Structure 1
Amino acid sequence: MSARPNIVVFLSDDQGPWALGAAGNTEIRTPVLDDLAARGTRLDRFFCTSPVCSPARASLLTGRIPSAHGVHDYLDGPNTGPDSVDLLAGQPSYTDALADAGYRLGLSGKWHLGASDVPRRGFVHWYALEGGGSPYHDAPMLRGATPEVASGYLTDAIADDAIAFLDAEAGQDAPFFLAVNFTAPHKPFAGQHPDEYTEPYRDCAFESCPQEEPHPWLQTLGGGPIGGEPDAREALIGYFAAVTAMDAAIGRVLERLRAHDLEQETIVVFLSDNGFNCGQHGIWGKGNGTFPMNMYDESVLVPFIVFAPGRVAEGRVVHDLLSAYDFPATLLELAGIDGAAFEEGPGRSFATLLEDGADETADEDRAVVVHSEYGPVRMIRTRRRKYVHRFPYGPHEFYDLEADPGERENLIDDPEHTAAVAELRQRMHGWFAEHATPDADGSALPVWGAGQLTPLGDDPAGAFAPPGWDGAATVR
């Protein structure tokens, strides 16, 4: 691989860590991604910084936590035009670092970080979904600032556009970076996907997605769970079909890389923005599938695969706890670019973990842990334990993940675990005190999955308040 490899990052939308054949799911069909994992390295404990779209994506780009970059919920309201706000304006991203290193940048697919009609610095190609979600047909897109409608099936339209970018860049002397941001497998589910992908699942038992009794905190809308649809079986067929269609689309993009003889010169990454429950825990959705928001592993873990010949081990699975805030520094190091600016916060490059013969941490409960947040909900997770804290009053949760990996028994009130709870709570508060910033701290926000309406300002709680909210939840 050359000193400046090309980079292709595939990002799925709402894909649970379980929704991948290489992760052990024998029902879902992901042959392309399974092959990519076999030829590269798969991480099976990679966490998003927030179990909802926009904050998670902001952290992947900046390496900062939501309480530092200020995006705390999915973005509602205008996505284009003078009323749309670029919530990452002035915040360095790893794409800026790539542009500074001479990369030509392209985007095909979802952006959803405000001002979708404004290509970011260094992007010579910009084909963005107008908002945060859409049907899979006739989706509203933006080519630069010009609106257009995606013809045909959206997953294929995104892949076709990515392929066109590869064709255009193949003759350039400069290296390229391409973000291929699918909307799959985000809802809507039923009736959205081609028959060639839905029909194989008609007789599926869906044992990987047991439909449990509804969670007591489940949010519902229109007769079904807010993150799902009234007909759970049809939704499952659609969800699985969306993943398989995306897998095939990724295969087409990778095939074009090979056709241009570029695969050996390219870092390829696949991951999702946040996790998803398809009935697990009695939930359809991610963190905002319940209220209070949840931090179950199905919501905060995401699939992650990286392929980079000569730089990343082949056929390896890494079990270390790693996070989206580690991603920018890692990707830049793999590309041979100084990523120190993205290690000033909690993020650390894990590029050395991806090498042949790399040793994983022997400590079963190492000092470096992962954290996640969703407004006033915060999590600290070690290999063996998880603590979830909800400002201002709870309810809080504590799980012994060795004895209870499925997070079924909340031990927060068990006297035997009082000391462990106190220790994790102290570590969590200390970590957020170190890495959050006062003008972006989300611990007092009344976030309930209603959408982030405006950026943080002098009155952060009020800035995020839905209509009619009286500010009572600001008490810590």
Structure 2
Amino acid sequence: MFHTRTSHPRPLHPPRAHRRRISVHQSSPYDHVVLVSVDTLRSDAMSAHPKPLWPHTYRNIRPVRTSVLDTLASRGAYFPNMISAAPYTAASHGAIFTGQYPLHNGLHEFYNGSLRAPSIFTYGRRDGRRTVMKVDFPIILGKELGFTRDIDTYLVEEDDAFVEAVAAADRSVALAHFGSVHVPYGFHNLTLGGDAYREKVAELEAELPDELPFVDRLVETYRDAEDADLLMRYKRATTYLHQQGAYDRLFQLYLDGVAHFQATRLSAFLDRLTERVTATGKRMLLVLFADHGEEFDEQTNGHFNSMSEGVLRVPLIIVGDGIPPGTYEHRIRTVDIAPTALDLAAIPAPALKNFDGRSLASVVRGTEPLDGDASAVAESYNVELNDFIAFQERQLNGRTPGPLPHFLVGHAAYLGDRRVVRMTRHYSDSLQRATPCDRVQVERFGADGVPRPDPDDDGADLLALLDDYRTALREPEPTTVTDDIRGQLRSLGYSV
């Protein structure tokens, strides 16, 4: 359960000798491993969630039914309490694909760096599988940050082409990323949103005054003039609502967007995918997850700068032949996804893998219980908004964008039924400026899964977990290469 506390919490990074080996079988039980990423889907946006957080925060909300997601969860292994490694798309997906935390895989900032660790697609390719990736956010999940490495077929916003690419492959590891739950909630763009999108923008603008707030001009995908204009108008409306403290109204827009996406896009996609793969006589492992959620309060308008539990807690659903239905409420991490999927599909990986996550394959198969809440960390690195807007405009105009300085906004650590949140930056109301701060809060999870402040807990062990994790940022000590070291390297086959 969410409130279970273990007397000996699992270490964040188990010693190498004790890291779980990824099992390798003679043949895979699944021809296709299909990852489905629903960007910005917080765990309790699903009506099947056993202990939703949002009713404790928002009032006068009209619940929505997420029947497609709920049905999928009822057919397989459903984990409603998974902690994301980061509250934004790039670093979160990097951790999911590699099974390594952001400070270990090369991609921890909001928009900097590049994946340098092998991914689930790397191992799929080595296993002779075709790798396919379809994304709604090519500016984020593209070549600039290393996401297209080891991808055979890369698609942008082409759901049908993705299904056909998977069905045409003998075996595959594939990702379908959906951005429709992100702002503008439920629509993604004009091509997919159509007149319903135009009508929603007009409805929101009818509530606006003559003078409107500053709005960012950031985009995650390529848009024509009308599409870009609609997005800016939608953002301007939601920014105004946030400044007015209309958090319930914003959360309702978000939930309605989840329902709209499910009804207009996800349902048809899953039906087509299942039908086409079944027609080929192949077996499929479907792994559906989110990268982060969405929250609205005085500090957060969305997700990127937030350590809110509603932002960090996301769902995982795994469906396939031989996987019995079950709901597992103990805490897991997004870094557990890659080792679990590789294990279930019997895709070979090095015997001593540097996964920060662990394989949950035996839990998914129903042969072992989920033994307690995993320890976890999450961090947010970001930039000054105006700096990022200028950087992206240079990039989209084909100019050299130059450097993009980042800073730590905040981070969180989890052990047993406790967590700590340490914020080091505070954003202004318009999110334009981030000023330094030092705010630490220790929270304890109740039986309802809600974290509440515990003023008597100094969180020393939790803060130590964060400090240990951040040692990955330290520059390595220089090493003098001696003749003895050279000899040892040569004996291992290296040319030095």
Q: Write the distance in 2 (CA, Å) between the matches of 1:302 and 1:342.
A: 28
Q: Write the distance in 1 (CA, Å) between the matches of 2:76 and 2:193.
A: 30
Give deviations 1:199-239, integer Å, cap 9, x for gaps: xx9xxxxxxxxxxxxxxxxx997464499798735555334
Structure whose residues are more often helix by fraction: 2
Give deviations 1:327-349, integer Å, cap 9, x for gaps: 22111111112334784252221
In structure 1, list runs of 5 or more residues that go unmatched.
Answer: 76-84, 129-156, 202-218, 441-476
SS at structure 2 position matched to 1:21: coil
Question: Over the residues paired in the alignment, what is the CA RMSD in angstroms?
Answer: 3.6
Alignment pair present for 1:423 and 2:461: yes
Give deviations 1:314-363, integer Å, cap 9, x for gaps: 220112321122222111111112334784252221212212242222x5
Partner of 1:295: 307
Quote the offset at 1:294 in angstroms.
2.5
Partner of 1:255: 275
Equivalent AA in structure 2 for residue 374 of structure 1 = S
Partner of 1:370: 376
Give deviations 1:258-280, integer Å, cap 9, x for gaps: 23333xx1111101111222x47
Alignment pair present for 1:189 and 2:185: yes
1:329-408 mapped onto 2 (5 Å cutoff): 329-340=339-350, 343-361=353-371, 368-375=374-381, 376=408, 377-391=410-424, 394-402=438-446, 405-407=449-451
Q: Write the distance in 1 (CA, Å) between the matches of 2:72 and 2:466.
A: 35
Cα distance change on mapping 1:315 and 1:30 into 2, 3 Å:
same
Give deviations 1:163-191, integer Å, cap 9, x for gaps: 2213422xx3xx11221111121111377
SS at structure 2 position matched to 1:346: coil
Partner of 2:160: 160
Q: Write the distance in 2 (CA, Å) between the matches of 1:45 and 1:10.
A: 18
Q: Which segment is superposed worse, 20-29 or 113-122?
A: 113-122
Quote the offset at 1:28 in angstroms.
2.9
Cα distance change on mapping 1:93 and 1:437 into 2, 3 Å:
farther
Partner of 2:231: none
Q: Write the distance in 1 (CA, Å) between the matches of 2:167 and 2:348.
A: 29
TM-score (norm 1): 0.66
Equivalent AA in structure 2 for residue 43 of structure 1 = F
The answer as to whether partners of 1:185 and 1:243 remain within 8 angstroms in 2 is: no
State which of 113, 117, 120 in structure 2 corresponds to 1:91: 117
State which of 306, 313, 316 in structure 2 corresponds to 1:304: 316
Partner of 2:153: 125
Q: Write the distance in 2 (CA, Å) between the matches of 1:302 and 1:99.
A: 28
Equivalent AA in structure 1 for residue 272 of structure 2 = R
Equivalent AA in structure 1 for residue 335 of structure 2 = Y
Q: Write the distance in 2 (CA, Å) between the matches of 1:306 and 1:321.
A: 16
Partner of 1:38: 74
The answer as to whether partners of 2:99 and 2:336 remain within 8 angstroms in 1 is: yes
1:3-152 mapped onto 2 (5 Å cutoff): 3=29, 5-23=31-49, 27-75=63-111, 87-88=114-115, 90-110=116-136, 111=138, 112-115=140-143, 120-128=148-156
The answer as to whether partners of 2:34 and 2:284 remain within 8 angstroms in 1 is: yes
In structure 2, list runs of 5 or more residues that go unmatched.
Answer: 1-26, 53-61, 201-215, 217-233, 382-407, 425-435, 477-496
TM-score (norm 2): 0.63
Quote the offset at 1:372 in angstroms.
0.8
The answer as to whether partners of 1:13 and 1:184 remain within 8 angstroms in 2 is: yes
Q: Write the distance in 2 (CA, Å) between the matches of 1:276 and 1:352.
A: 31
Q: Computing the radius of gyration over CA atoms, which structure comes out larger, 1 or 2?
A: 2
SS at structure 1 position matched to 2:439: coil
The answer as to whether partners of 1:106 and 1:178 remain within 8 angstroms in 2 is: yes
State which of 332, 335, 339 in structure 2 corresponds to 1:322: 332
Counting matched residue pairs gives 358
Quote the offset at 1:9 in angstroms.
0.8
Cα distance change on mapping 1:439 and 1:221 into 2, 3 Å:
farther
